[in-house]
Amino acid sequence: MFNLLDQRPTNVKNDILSGITVALALVPEAVAFAFIAGLEPMVGLYAAFMMGLVTSIFGGRPGMISGATGATAVVMVSLVLAHGAQYLFAAVFLAGVLQILAGVLKLGKFIRIVPHPVMLGFVNGLAIVIFLSQLGLFEYEVTEGVWNYLQGEELLVMGTLIVATMLIMQFLPKFTKAVPAGLVAIVSVTLAVVLLDLPARSVIDFVADKLPESEAASASLQGTLPSFAIPLVPFTLETLWIILPYSAIIAAVGLIESLLTLSLIDELTNTRGRGNKECIGQGLANSVNGVFGGMGGCAMIGQSMININNGGRGRLSGITAALVLLGFILFAAPLIEMIPLAALVGVMFMVVLGTFEWSSLRIIRKIPITDAFVIILVSGITVAFDLAIAVIVGVIVSALVFAWKHAQHIYADVSFDNEGRKIYDLRGPVFFGSVSNFKDIFDIENDPKEVIIEFRRSRVSDHSGIDALDTIAEKYQAAGKNLHLRHLSPECRELLEKAGDLCEINVLEDPTYHVASDKLA
């Protein structure tokens, strides 16, 4: 019902028109996230411009939009309050360096370990977060520090305009796809408000409400080009220890959100982004932000979905969005200041409908209960805390479930060879979760003098497995019997060699035999 994805092929017109739509949608969020971090609105707008431009040129996922985000803004608040904006710029620069290092070390590939239930929870949770974030645009400041929700005629007008925006976006593509429905909706609703003189709150009203009362009257989004300036902080170890924790968190949160958004767009477009290149692109963008007075950020799933939904597939869409945003700041601030918030809320509500994985509601009773639990858990943590914590918790829970299930799958087929030796033909991995069941397999007291453990269909995966082998060997030795290991893979033998004196077991000569490992990739 809510399949909003535009299947038009990549072309210059689609990218440019989609980029213009994205630029309009970037404004209120960039301003809002700047206020969240305790910064001036222009710092957020500069970040949206620089993140969008640099990642579109150097990133690994064409069509993905980056900018100032709430996920990174909440990390910055305490640093700005305690030390000021200059320390933040230094922290953002260092975060960029860490992200570049992650790309160089090819850490982006680890996004592949995120299970599908975690991805579903991530998408659903972010859809809910995007929806909840729009509710703040229904508020206005009564007096300084006192906020209230819209009521009466203003609420009715805003609701009507939101519905009109959503209807245009839903039905216009059925008649024509010559221009993005989102762009048409924003322009149409803006013209209706101006021509009919409707009492609708605009972008500049939102900005004015966030500023101190003394500055509200002169609120404006007019600005200049960001200028190069090395952060004004002491270049000492003390400064490094102040900013390093914030930089590490900003870098980690930014990469997690960016790489997960990359995976989502890969799935939607049936293409393949380059995770390690995206790490480098995000790092370059944040480093540029640090020396040009921006608050940094990462990929934005909402704006990325707007871009993809409107046919923006190439790098030109992101470049256009960034340059158009800069053009608004430099030359056409009054145009974006007059855009009704209702139009932007309507666009984002359509993003919510298109982002939420509605199929997860249908399959929730048909999938294993552990997968359903992970989906709900990740969604809930994303809403209650942030997506980085949610994804980490989801991966850990999924890994523990996987370990528990596979711990039950270890067993051995028992036989005797012509020499009377007992052979335990092991099935399943020997690792921390399975060592208890592994030890219960052997009948040491009644076994013959010579015993062989056959590893053709098994492997030792970690130190717990090595320790379990050593324990079994000691018990056989104490009983006056010999234990041999056969058909160990080279990877398992390497683990035993590294263990050295920790594991003294007689390994029989094996033929060359490999199991799946990174060495074969």
pLDDT, one tens digit per residue, over 508-517 is 544 444 433 3
Q: Are 441 and 424 in contact (CB under 8 A)?
A: yes
In this predicted structure, the answer to whether residue 280 has a pLDDT above a threshold of 90 is yes
In this predicted structure, the answer to whether residue 429 has a pLDDT above a threshold of 80 is yes
Boundaries of every domain in the chain: 12-379, 408-520
Proportion of the chain above pLDDT 90, given as a percent: 42
DSSP-assigned states of every residue in 444-504: TTTS-SEEEEEEEE--B-SHHHHHHHHHHHHHHHHTT-EEEEES--HHHHHHHHHHGGG--
| Model pLDDT, residue 506 | 52
- The phi and psi torsions of 481 (rounded to 5 degrees) equal -125, 160
Distances (CA, A) of 499 to 270, 435, 470: 45, 17, 10
The band of 507, judged by pLDDT with boundaries at 50, 70 and 90, is low
How far apart (Å, rounded) are the C-alpha atoms in residues 352 and 515?
Answer: 44
| Model pLDDT, residue 99 | 96
Does residue 411 sit in helix, strand or coil? Answer: strand
* Chain segment 327-379, per-residue pLDDT in tens: 999 998 998 899 999 998 998 898 888 888 888 888 888 888 989 999 999 99
| Model pLDDT, residue 515 | 39
Q: How many CA atoms lie within 13 Å of 212's alpha carbon, on the beta-carbon side?
A: 5
* Chain segment 81-109, per-residue pLDDT in tens: 999 999 999 999 999 999 999 999 998 88
In this predicted structure, the answer to whether residue 6 has a pLDDT above a threshold of 70 is no
Note the CATH number of domain 408-520. Answer: 3.30.750.24
What is the DSSP-derived secondary structure letter of residue 434?
T
One-letter amino acid for residue 262 of the chain: L
How far apart (Å, rounded) are the C-alpha atoms in residues 418 and 391?
Answer: 54
Distances (CA, A) of 149 to 278, 315, 337: 40, 39, 21
Burial label, 305 (beta-carbon count in 10 A; 0-12, 13-18, 19+): buried
* Chain segment 202-232, per-residue pLDDT in tens: 999 888 887 777 777 788 899 899 999 999 9
Supply 330's token pair: 């430099």
Q: What angle do CA 129, 130, 134 make, to 5 degrees?
A: 110
* Chain segment 115-159, per-residue pLDDT in tens: 889 888 988 988 898 888 888 888 776 566 667 788 888 899 999
| Model pLDDT, residue 132 | 87
